[in-house]
Structure 1
Amino acid sequence: MVVVGLVVVGAVVLFVTEWLPVDVTAIAVMVTLILLEPWTGISPSQGISGFSSPATITVLAMLILSAGISRTGLVQILGRRIAAFAGDRLDKQLLATIGVAGPASGFVNNTPVVAVLIPVVTEVANEGHTSPSKLLIPLSYASQFGGMLTLIGTSTNILASDTAARLSGQYPSLRAFGFFEFTALGVVVFLVGSAYLLTVGHRLLPERVPPAEDPVDSYGVADYLAEVDVKPGSDLVGRRPSAVAERAGNPVEVVRLVRDGEAPVNPAVDDRLEAGDTLLVRTGDEALAALAAADELAVARPADADEALATPGSEDRPVVEVVVPTTSFLVGETIRSSSFRRRYDATVLALRTRGDTVSEPLRDLTIQAGDTLLVQAPPRTLDRLGRSREFVPVREPAEPDYRTEKIPHAVAIMAGVVGFVAVPWAALGGWLAALTGVGGLAMLAGLQQDILVTALAGVVAMVLAGVLDAGELYDSVDWNVIFLLAGVIPLGIALEETGAATLLGAGVAAAAAHLPALVVLWLFYIVTGLITEVISNNASVVLMIPVAAAAATAIGAEPFSFVLAVTFAASTAFLGPVGYQTNLFVYGPGGYKFVDYVRIGAPLQLLLSAVTVGGLVLFRGI
């Protein structure tokens, strides 16, 4: 028990500090539990059980199904049509954003919903002369409200359901969640949260990004661009472009090389400078002064950054913003080490991290999840960036390549996945048998299927119907989520098997002996919400559900209500950009500061804690 406690502490430290990626931390925890089997009770088969867990497989299947829906463009099309009525009124823009993101997130995993709606909402804001900062956090929060409408809205719900089912032997009142198990409470949370965003929330958000501002201006690119002309007789002639940086004695990044009025696609390292060449470089004032001191160079800041970036031969290389999600290969890399320019034939002009635009040279700066890159690239590259799970585009391409003809197929498949789980076939068969006198209709109960089976069947149907290509299945999966689930599930098993969860629950019960059960329930919601902000939402569910069930039993309360409180708290994280991936997606495009999430999220978290706990008492009792 002590060893398991130490493993939990170590895992939390690694999750908080992010010394390792969260999925790597989860696998490290799994391996540690197996190696310490005599003290943890986790055998190799139990240690790897997370990979075969119904929760892990179901989440994997739902991610693929969500990708299929996204590939058809259905969510984007709905977003544009419903937002068309918004105009330049902020209240209508907010209503359109919430009205699309919330309900869609109940049936399509909320993370891809936000990813595909960011460009749509940004365009709605710019066309309506509204700062995108006023709409993007509400987009993320609304998707979290919507994720609590059904079992499949978030991966956290599915994992919580699996954890509750596993604990049913110890706590008979626990069970796997039904598809619409908490829909009534989810609707209340969605309505209250939406009302908050529509009336109070948006007033707490500053306009960090001006409406319809050119991204080149928004990032202040003009302050760091310079044109360097190589004069005849310069000793730089015949040398590589990187020699300009050596001459400056400070980091200088070559954006483009212009020769004879034509701009080469990429100033490769083996290109040699010639007299008359013009280099467009990204550099600070100190390095620029060093270059200007050289007689054989003519140096000047361009009067117009857009014009400088659109020199002859580069008119077909637009400038766009992309967000780096946690799934991107760039996380932990630098522009140089990732070979970004060679890999994508694209140039990174600017970077916004944690709400601040970076002024120093970019090539050796470590990229973090949530950073936003300002990239100049040809259309074919922008199409690749938009389709790749490595990036989330902030604006839609001019001609998006959606499989709109597959929308009916995708909708029918999702309806089938949901229908076979949601319809009470046994009750329906019994009712029809009683009505018609045909006893055989009672066999309809055999149609009842688990969400795991119907989701996998839906994946096969997506491929057979051509909604997704077979090769796209693997790209559709957020593999760090899958490895995170597989790694933390054994930790939950260890907490249960060693009695650590029961001991912690008893400790909580003893500490709260003089508190009403309602207050204890509320405290579990608050504590889970705070833990989720510093570790992952899935990890917080695995850690907190066994303890909550044990504490509820110890004080004579209903464990199922405590499990639902933990689930709702872990799936609705509003206090920062790190606790929930959708918050991270909108961090850069909205130009937000960390304090913005606290300003709007703290009152919302407190409000929904009261609403959720009150709803649990009303709908389920404690």
Structure 2
Amino acid sequence: MYQQLVLTGIMLTLVGCLFGTRLKPAWLFVSGIGIAYLGGLIELEDMLINYANPSLITLVLLVLVSIAVEKTTLVQKLAQSLSKGSLTSSVTKLGLSTAFLSSFTNNTAVVASLITAIKDSPTHSPSKLLLPLSYTAILGGTITLIGTSTNLIVNGFAVDAGMAPLGFFDFTLVGLGALSVGLITILVMLKYLPDNGKNDQEVVPFYLEGKIEEGSKLIGKSVEENGLRELKDLFLAEIIRGDKRICAVTPQQVIKAGDVLLFVGDIKSVPLLTRFDGLKVVHDKHEKDVEHLVEVVVSQSSKFIGKTVKEVRFREQFHAAVIAIRRGHDRLQGGLGKVKLQAGDSLILAPGKDFYTLPNLKREFVYISGLDLQTHLAPKQSNLVLASFAVVLGLSIVGYVPLVKGLLVLLIGLMLTGTIKLSEVKRRFPIELLAVVGSAIGLAKLMIGTGLAGEISSALFYVLGDFGPYGAFIAIFVMTVLFTELITNNAAAALSFPVAYALAIGFNVDPLPFIMAVAFGASASFISPFGYQTNLMVYSAGNYRLKDYVLMGLPLSIIYSITVLTLIPLVFPF
């Protein structure tokens, strides 16, 4: 009874913090299992062994091997074919190709590799392609065991609960069904996506500033005389003069020393500003780097959220200057240093030489362009990497070599050949994922072992008993979907699994359909840009509004749910 009470307090606090705070899930889950250890609920050896779970190690190795897969020419060849044909044809090709790639490798890497090419598409508006890109990457991840971290995590939970390991293609029939109806839904709903064309000035609202230095030839002349009124793809929106903001800038407004000019427009026009004498877009040692810019998106788990660039001392932390910010369609106000950052904000950075070596880049940002995507392998080396990866997967599928062993050998080989550098491994090592999943496995074991999951399932059984196993199965799926939209997919799986397993035992049915409900429910993030990383990546890149996700994602989520809830019991009977 003592153990159940303590664990109940831990889980309620954990869930409350996940929903009500911006604390990182990694800290919350590690704190939860740590308190369980201090409270005598789990021994140290039993706690630590959860971090060496085979499914978790497989997931970590997949993330690291995907560093090399990202550098291959496969994604670039795909990007080149997207501009050919009608919009329906392009989205179909994009969807099927993205889904296929996402079923075998990291879907975040696939989306990151394609975003730049899609934004530069000469035939179709990026806003018509980027959200379908994210959605099909999510759908593709459900097709195989390794397609998404969620599937591997659920497999780890299942093995620790005493079930047989899930097979590589156990998810495939349901996943292909979900992909098929999902892609058809996306094609039908394409007309409702915004057409944010390149000539629409409203939809390229990058927000950047330039400072008038002492001795500038612009000083003492009006905006019109200085030629600041007729800039290509840039609009002078505000002037900040000390503590004063001049919001309606007229052509007759005279420029003074120390003025900060705030522009709205296309980031590609930044070089125009550098031609004006004494107008500095990037300051200090970064001045010469204005032609080598990096675009990043603030992650939902970033510690910067709610703080200004000045408050977080961005330049000191990242050896990079923020020269522009974009937040969907929102018109920002005040200087760049006073803008409070939000998840999904797109930042344009002028990086210093040490920027790429910093260890915490992946934790704070989702990449869109630059960084790891700048270097690509030669065609011969690229083909060798893809062939090696395919061999490892093939040997695992036929049961000849366990996937974890094959990936470990492949990773060592890639590092020895220099395809993957040690610095890349250090920078990309998924320490937070390791912390969340390892801790979640321990907490799930405790919930089952102490009987807490059984108590919860008994309460649900009392409510859902009249609806039978299928009613409980639907309830678990819906609960997981809601968790996924409100927190993260991995945390949703961790919270739902113990209850799902205990409910199946309570109904005296096979737990597998309930486990599959958790896996597919945790991948159903379509309604919000914040529930899944790929959705967040395309948010600013496509100049989307929140209503675009709801309008496109709600029908997709409903149809996906109906399909999955129909197929799982057929493929995995109770």
Letter in 1 for 2:205: Y
Relative distance call for 1:382 and 1:195 in structure 2 (3 A) is farther
What SS does structure 1 have at the residue aligned with 2:522?
helix
Relative distance call for 1:480 and 1:357 in structure 2 (3 A) is farther
What SS does structure 2 have at the residue aligned with 1:374?
strand
Deviation at 1:375, TM superposition (A): 3.5
Relative distance call for 1:146 and 1:284 in structure 2 (3 A) is farther
Deviation at 1:416, TM superposition (A): 2.3
5 Å matches for 1:98-497?
A: 98-124=95-121, 127-130=122-125, 132-168=126-162, 174-200=163-189, 202-207=190-195, 209-211=196-198, 218-219=204-205, 221=207, 227=212, 283=240, 287-289=244-246, 297=257, 306=269, 307-311=272-276, 317-318=290-291, 321-325=295-299, 334-341=308-315, 346-353=320-327, 356-376=330-350, 389=362, 391-395=365-369, 400-404=374-378, 405-424=380-399, 448-497=400-449
Relative distance call for 1:231 and 1:415 in structure 2 (3 A) is closer
Mapped partners of 1:362, 1:35: distance in 2? 45
After superposition, the C-alpha distances for 1:192-241 in whole angstroms (9 at most, x for unaligned) are 111111112x233234x4336689x822547x657466589x9xxxxxxx
Mapped partners of 1:562, 1:592: distance in 2? 35
What SS does structure 2 have at the residue aligned with 1:373?
strand
Does structure 1 retain, via aligned residues, the 8 Å contact 2:238–2:261?
Answer: no
Letter in 2 for 1:409: L
After superposition, the C-alpha distances for 1:166-216 in whole angstroms (9 at most, x for unaligned) are 112xxxxx321111111111111111111111112x233234x4336689x
Mapped partners of 1:111, 1:231: distance in 2? 45
Letter in 1 for 2:290: R
**TM-score, normalised via structure 2 length:** 0.82
Count of matched residue pairs: 532
Mapped partners of 1:343, 1:455: distance in 2? 34
Relative distance call for 1:337 and 1:14 in structure 2 (3 A) is same
Mapped partners of 2:483, 2:503: distance in 1? 17
Deviation at 1:529, TM superposition (A): 0.3
Does structure 1 retain, via aligned residues, the 8 Å contact 2:14–2:29?
Answer: yes
Does structure 1 retain, via aligned residues, the 8 Å contact 2:305–2:342?
Answer: yes
Q: Aligned pair 1:85/2:84, yes or no?
A: yes
5 Å matches for 1:548-567?
A: 548-567=500-519
Relative distance call for 1:187 and 1:303 in structure 2 (3 A) is closer
Deviation at 1:91, TM superposition (A): 1.4
Does structure 1 retain, via aligned residues, the 8 Å contact 2:300–2:530?
Answer: no
Aligned to 2:61: 61
After superposition, the C-alpha distances for 1:364-423 in whole angstroms (9 at most, x for unaligned) are 545344321134568x799889x96464454569x9421134212211221122112101
Does structure 1 retain, via aligned residues, the 8 Å contact 2:239–2:246?
Answer: no
Mapped partners of 1:411, 1:60: distance in 2? 19
Mapped partners of 1:295, 1:403: distance in 2? 49
Q: Aligned pair 1:594/2:546, yes or no?
A: yes
Aligned to 1:71: 71
Mapped partners of 1:98, 1:402: distance in 2? 23
What SS does structure 2 have at the residue aligned with 1:533?
helix
Mapped partners of 1:303, 1:361: distance in 2? 10
Deviation at 1:151, TM superposition (A): 0.7
Aligned to 2:223: none
Relative distance call for 1:355 and 1:515 in structure 2 (3 A) is farther
Mapped partners of 2:304, 2:258: distance in 1? 35
Mapped partners of 1:391, 1:360: distance in 2? 23
Deviation at 1:143, TM superposition (A): 0.6
Aligned equivalent of 2:13, options 10, 24, 30: 10
Relative distance call for 1:231 and 1:467 in structure 2 (3 A) is closer
Residue ranges of structure 1 left out of the alignment (5+ in a row): 169-173, 235-279, 425-447
What SS does structure 1 have at the residue aligned with 2:161?
helix
What SS does structure 2 have at the residue aligned with 1:283?
strand
Relative distance call for 1:9 and 1:517 in structure 2 (3 A) is same
Deviation at 1:294, TM superposition (A): 10
Q: Which moved more, 1:336-345 or 1:579-588?
A: 336-345
Aligned to 1:572: 524
Deviation at 1:74, TM superposition (A): 3.0
Does structure 1 retain, via aligned residues, the 8 Å contact 2:453–2:498?
Answer: yes
What SS does structure 1 have at the residue aligned with 2:537?
helix
Does structure 1 retain, via aligned residues, the 8 Å contact 2:207–2:262?
Answer: no
After superposition, the C-alpha distances for 1:257-281 in whole angstroms (9 at most, x for unaligned) are xxxxxxxxxxxxxxxxxxxxxxx99
Aligned equivalent of 1:607, options 553, 559, 565: 559
Relative distance call for 1:84 and 1:73 in structure 2 (3 A) is same
Deviation at 1:9, TM superposition (A): 1.2
**TM-score, normalised via structure 1 length:** 0.76
Mapped partners of 2:216, 2:477: distance in 1? 68
Letter in 1 for 2:20: T
Deviation at 1:46, TM superposition (A): 2.5
Relative distance call for 1:391 and 1:584 in structure 2 (3 A) is same
Aligned equivalent of 2:25, options 18, 22, 31: 22
Mapped partners of 1:553, 1:508: distance in 2? 13
Deviation at 1:593, TM superposition (A): 2.7
Mapped partners of 1:295, 1:372: distance in 2? 29
User: What's the Cα RMSD here?
Assistant: 3.6
Does structure 1 retain, via aligned residues, the 8 Å contact 2:56–2:156?
Answer: no
Aligned equivalent of 1:94, options 91, 94, 109: 91
Does structure 2 retain, via aligned residues, the 8 Å contact 1:122–1:395?
Answer: no
Deviation at 1:304, TM superposition (A): 10
Aligned to 2:47: 47
Q: Aligned pair 1:533/2:485, yes or no?
A: yes
After superposition, the C-alpha distances for 1:445-488 in whole angstroms (9 at most, x for unaligned) are xxx33322222222112223432123322223232222221222
Does structure 2 retain, via aligned residues, the 8 Å contact 1:355–1:594?
Answer: no
Relative distance call for 1:192 and 1:396 in structure 2 (3 A) is farther
Deviation at 1:80, TM superposition (A): 1.8
Deviation at 1:98, TM superposition (A): 1.0
Residue ranges of structure 2 left out of the alignment (5+ in a row): 220-236, 281-286
Does structure 1 retain, via aligned residues, the 8 Å contact 2:368–2:537?
Answer: no
Relative distance call for 1:411 and 1:44 in structure 2 (3 A) is same
